[in-house]
Amino acid sequence: MNPMVDMAFLLVSFFMMTTTFKPELPEEIQIPSSTSEIKMPENDICTITISENGVVYFGIDNKFQRQRMLDIVGNQYNFSFTEREKEIFALQTVFGTSVGSLSDYLNAREASVPFVQTGIPMGEQNELRAWLLAARMANPRMRFAVNADRRVKYPMIHDLFELLRDLNITRFNLVTDTKVVHASAN
């Protein structure tokens, strides 16, 4: 039995070291496919997720930068968060609520109570803009990725691209699955 146990522990340590946890999205996103072979960067990455129904979620990869980002946005909208709320916020890989209901969301998360996220407002009061700016302030090397469901209607995508352009983010990534096309470019 010993060789098997050795093997099992080897695999356990391997998975423990290589694992990156899936971001816990409340909705399933079906991303489109492309033949691009560029891998998604692992750090300095800020992801804007749009679900099929047009709900916008936002997330950055670094836990410490999340807290800094929250401080910046909180200051801007005159919302103060308790230390506990900041700690919980730092653990959220992705979230999608307005700044106003963020506190309720974080408390619901702490109590493990279900909370329906309605998305980050992108209309008249463009909070996504504030988050994007804060993400870049928290990490000037931040790269941006758009992780949109393939069924999202174009006007929404157009608004997002225009917002990114407006913030001088002219290079960004579109997250896609791999697909193989059986034809040469000739």
Partner 1 sequence: MLPPIDEIEVDRIHGTNDASRKAEKREVNVDMNPMVDLAFLLLTFFMLATTFSNPQVMELLVPAKPDADDAQQETPVKESRTMSLVLFQEKIVWYRGITDPEHFDISYDDTRLIGFLSAANKGTDGLVVLIKPLPESNYENLVTVLDALNNSGVQRYALDEPNEYDLNLSMQNP
What residues line the site for partner 1 (CB under 8 A)?
1, 4-5, 8-9, 11-12, 15-16, 18-22, 31-42, 50, 145, 148-155, 157-158, 161, 164-166, 168, 170-179, 181-183, 185-186
Which residues, including other chains, have CB under 8 Å from residue 124's CB and lie 6 or more apart?
none
Cα–Cα dist 88/92, whole Å: 7
Which residues, including other chains, have CB under 8 Å from residue 136's CB and lie 6 or more apart?
46, 142, 167, 169
70 vs 152, beta carbon nearer partner 1: 152
90 vs 163, beta carbon nearer partner 1: 163
Q: How far is the CB of 104 from partner 1 (least distance, A)?
A: 28
CA dihedral 107, 110, 113, 115 (to 10 degrees): 50
Q: How far is the CB of 76 from partner 1 (least distance, A)?
A: 22
Q: How far is the CB of 186 from partner 1 (least distance, A)?
A: 7
| Number of other CB atoms surrounding residue 166 within 10 Å | 11
Cα–Cα dist 178/176, whole Å: 7
Q: How far is the CB of 154 from partner 1 (least distance, A)?
A: 4
78 vs 170, beta carbon nearer partner 1: 170
Q: How far is the CB of 8 from partner 1 (least distance, A)?
A: 4
65 vs 176, beta carbon nearer partner 1: 176
Asked if residue 6 lies in contact with residue 150, where contact means CB atoms within 8 angstroms, the answer is: no
20 vs 78, beta carbon nearer partner 1: 20
Q: In the block, which residue shows the tokens 């941006």?
A: 144
